[in-house]
Chain A
Amino acid sequence: MHNKETLPNLGLPEHERDLFCDARPRVSKPLASYIEKFLNWSRANSLWILAYGTGCGAIELRPLFTARFDISRYGMAPRPTPRQASLLMIGGYLSVKTLKRVIRSYEQMQNPKFVIGLGSCTVNGGMYWDSYNTINRLDHYLPVDVYITGCMPRPEAIIAGFEQLKKRIKDGRAEGANQYAEQFDWYKANQKKIITDWNMPDYNW
């Protein structure tokens, strides 16, 4: 019954294991090049954002969404749930406790999905680099497409980061979800190294 491809879900109590997904994420191969090109063009022009305001970075998202910098000009819109979003924005430092929620949110998003790390804290820990409870590099736990440096980056910088991400998507280089599926074991090992009370499914789709 349990073949090699099934996830054990050891963090869950035994009577709950049947209730959750035990399949590994799969790599979705790109379609024929002209179709994929069209799809990437449309993906790049309708990014729906799940903004995860973990730290001070979230403060720069308000001017971005409202009248002055009005992000809907670029076809972007904030969404309230991970299942409707294609872009996860991590707004600042991540403690171990919030990283757990971020992983859950990321895995619930549908493919294709992209991650933007906002602020120095996601790059190398920023001013919290030697703290006992904040991670240093986000890309060891989730595949990050674009980092926007700054403490905090201004809305102009974030828009420039969006442009960079769009370029990556159109070039077909934003394959974070596939990368996550390919190197699933590496990502899970890193995540479980610091999240010691793993009480959620091994993959939350």
Chain B
Amino acid sequence: MEQINELKARYSISDSRDQRPDLGFITVDPGRLAALLAELQQVRGYTHLSFITAVDYPETGTFQLTYMVHNFESAHSLGVRTVISRDTALMESVHHLWKQAKTYQRELKEMYGIDFPGSPGVDDPFILEGWQGPPPMRRDFDTRAYSEKTYFPRPGRKTSDPRRHMQSRLYPDYTPFEEET
């Protein structure tokens, strides 16, 4: 935590909290993120990039990116968060710090449409072959409407509450409380 206090002023870290003794989160401006990660990796011992992930907030028009880095010596994980605009959806690549970052960035490009210019192979398809719709993990993408339009839904599908269904099968004479009144 002292380390983070040292960094706070220099990288304009807006929010920091400890979730567990071995896990903390800090929030930083997108412009300062790559510099902060470089210092964490090369000076502060956070040598391992565990993952990069995104959360979509259409309500505020933002993506929250989390870069989880790990320090093997102190066994401490640090999530570095940053908030970027949903419309431009552009972020600096960190593949020069960790090679594996390019895979996460490729996935984020495909699933959320967040672009990382300069990241190797970022435009290649990741798991969806020949996908032509909007990025499917964005929350305003209606998967049900897309599925009904594309995949020939079989008519006659019905859904039943498992509790009521089993009750009526096993105890046909039983009336549940809420229906008695």
Contacts and interface: CB of A to CB of B under 8 A. Distances in A.
Interface of A: 96-97, 100, 123-125, 129-137, 140, 190, 193-197
**Binding site secondary structure of chain B:** loop
B107 to A, nearest CB: 14
A96 B125 CA distance: 14
B152 A137 contact: yes
B151 A134 contact: yes
B132 A196 contact: yes
Contacts of A197: 129-130
Contacts of B132: 196
Nearest to A195: B130
Contacts of A137: 151-154
A132 B146 contact: yes
Interface in B131-168: 131-133, 136, 141, 143-144, 146-148, 150-154, 157
B157 A129 contact: yes
Contacts of B136: 132-133
Interface residues of B, number: 20
**Binding site secondary structure of chain A:** loop
Given A132-B136, A133-B136, A97 B127 contact: yes
Query: Which of B133, B151, B154 gathers most chain A CB within 10 Å?
Result: B151
B147 A190 contact: no
Contacts, number: 56
B37 to A, nearest CB: 32
B89 interface: no
A26 B151 CA distance: 27
Contact of B152 (A96, A130, A136, A196): A136
Contacts of B152: 135-137, 140, 190
Contacts of A196: 130-132
A97 B157 contact: no
A131 B129 contact: no
Given A140-B152, A196-B132, A131 B143 contact: yes
B129 A100 contact: yes
5 contacts: A124-B157, A125-B153, A125-B154, A132-B133, A134-B147
Given A124-B157, A131-B147, 12 more contacts: A96-B129, A125-B151, A130-B144, A130-B147, A130-B148, A136-B147, A136-B152, A137-B153, A194-B151, A195-B130, A196-B132, A197-B130
A96 B132 CA distance: 13
Contacts of B129: 96-97, 100, 195, 197
B120 to A, nearest CB: 21
A130 B153 CA distance: 9
Interface string B39-61: 00000000000000000000000
A131 B132 CA distance: 15
A91 to B, nearest CB: 19
Nearest to B127: A97
